[in-house]
Chain A
């Protein structure tokens, strides 16, 4: 079975399968870490992304940054999938909530 996520600790690299992870959750996850890390995202062939993570400041050392990134990405992919499933429901909730009251 193809790997969904591969972590290369030596190179600070994560390789993701495009079959399981979409662009938006990957970008959303990357943006959460850009204050402390340089994130580089590149396509690799037709089916994979490669994400390279470098810490910005020498004093910073987050243990397990690669694993934390992967966990965050999985959650964000689930959120993305759920949003797709919710579809227009959120609009059906919010729009009537702001209908005007009847005139006094």
Chain B
């Protein structure tokens, strides 16, 4: 007599039943086989019996070795949590020399110096960062446009490196910049101190053109691998994703991450003009993904979001991604420090504060200790409300093992950190993308399978050649 081990299920679009268990293993069965499983009538004469047993959807009920194996895989999946907060964002200025419509930051005017972070505040933030138990720390400078306050970046980087002599952590730095104001001297400093550049190519034409020019300069000085771009999909780019992909390839980027708009800042104010429904986004995303996969028949070029999700589906390995994990990564994987030393669990929480709601303010580096901010009741409440296993609609979702939640976004849209997720844009987006990816996985050719594994393992082989 079999003992069923915990799993979720759903009828797939092709009529088969998709099963996914707690360790993230999945399997498709016919309705007859599903009926046999839940009524404990499945036996070794069923062609799926041994596949299901080896993937630990059931065992023979003796001992706990299956439970221990599932637990070990579950532990692997969640191992990113052990590092605690390793991603620290510093908003060093709210000044910006641009006003991109889709900006979720709602930057201040170029002369608004009162929003510049002081050196004292920056040093206090670095002191707090080093109280984190993480062995690997990434410090990201954001704005506004952070290169407008480059002097602070220089001092902060050198201070952090000096401080690290006693801590010996692996520390990395990133500047998120539109590249329009960056100078050669600043790029040389970045090169000499191993600072990465993250930029955006989605701005209006005049911004975009300066971007491209300085992108070249940045690559010449820092090297191609140290400069990357993040795209934000507006309604214009949504209709032209193939061209966006082509441009990224032409500009020599290694891959692309197709992101939907977030409902904050200027993007929220301009949503009528910029916006699209989540169904429209997913339709275009899937179309772009098919296009990218076809490109990969001749050239290695991953779509990073799909890569992350494929990795979660096909491997038991840890894939921390702050925007889609359970418990949510907000505060415990990444945190953000505002120009005045205020601490927020995410950039979106900081943006809410800019919009007048300081509900998610965790404290301030001047007045509060590391323990009260990162171990305090506020963050604990947010995180305990952000586990899919205890979220309505998510608790029984077949994609639970691969998905996550966003308590800040929940609060923005409904006033509640933990809400019914079923018909939210967040759920629509991820559910539909998972539906598509599972259809792809069950129908893919061997060649397409190789492409996906190339993405997951980051091995740049095409047609079997490196």
Contact = CB atoms under 8 A, between A and B. Distances in A.
Contacts of B72: 97
A69 to B, nearest CB: 14
Contacts of A94: 22, 71, 74, 389
B212 interface: no
Q: Please report whether the interface of chain B is mostly helix, strand, loop or mixed according to DSSP.
A: mixed
Contacts of B5: 86, 89
Interface in B56-72: 64, 67-68, 70-72
A81 B39 CA distance: 11
A78 B8 CA distance: 10
A78 B71 contact: no
B38 interface: yes
Interface string A44-56: 0000000000000
Contact of B396 (A79, A90, A101): A79
A93 B67 contact: yes
A96 B423 contact: no
Interface in A19-72: 28, 31-32, 35
A82 B4 contact: yes
Given A32-B393, A85-B4, A97 B82 contact: no
B420 A96 contact: no
Given A35-B423, A92-B67, A86 B396 contact: no
Contacts of A98: 75, 78
Contact of B67 (A76, A78, A79, A89): A89
Given A82-B4, A82-B38, A101-B82, A93 B22 contact: yes
Interface in B1-36: 4-11, 22-23
Interface string B368-389: 0000000000000000000001
B71 A96 contact: yes
B198 to A, nearest CB: 32
B353 interface: no
Given A31-B392, A86-B5, A93 B74 contact: yes
Contacts of A35: 422-423
Given A31-B420, A86-B4, A101-B82, A92 B64 contact: yes
A103 to B, nearest CB: 13
Contacts of B389: 94
A55 B95 CA distance: 49
Interface residues of A, number: 21
Interface in B96-134: none
Given A32-B393, A93-B67, A86 B6 contact: yes
A90 B422 contact: no
A32 B22 contact: no
A31 B423 CA distance: 11
Interface in B386-434: 389, 392-393, 396, 420, 422-423
B38 A97 contact: no
B6 A97 contact: no
Nearest to B69: A93
A35 B22 CA distance: 29
A85 B4 CA distance: 8
Nearest to A71: B11
Please indicate which of the listed interface residues A28, A32, A89, A97 has the most CB atoms of chain B within 10 Å of its own CB: A97
A71 to B, nearest CB: 9
A35 B424 CA distance: 10
Contact of B70 (A76, A82, A85, A93): A93
A93 B6 contact: yes
Contacts of B4: 82, 85-86
A66 to B, nearest CB: 18
Contact of B22 (A28, A90, A101): A90
A92 B3 CA distance: 14
Contacts of B64: 92
B22 A76 contact: no
Interface string B240-251: 000000000000
B39 to A, nearest CB: 10
Contacts of B420: 31
Contact of B74 (A32, A81, A97): A97
29 contacts: A28-B396, A75-B10, A75-B11, A78-B9, A79-B8, A79-B9, A79-B396, A81-B38, A82-B7, A85-B4, A86-B4, A86-B5, A86-B6, A89-B5, A89-B67, A90-B6, A93-B22, A93-B23, A93-B67, A93-B70, A94-B71, A94-B389, A96-B75, A97-B71, A97-B72, A97-B74, A97-B78, A98-B75, A98-B78
3 tightest Cβ-Cβ pairs between the two chains A and B = A97-B75, A97-B74, A86-B6
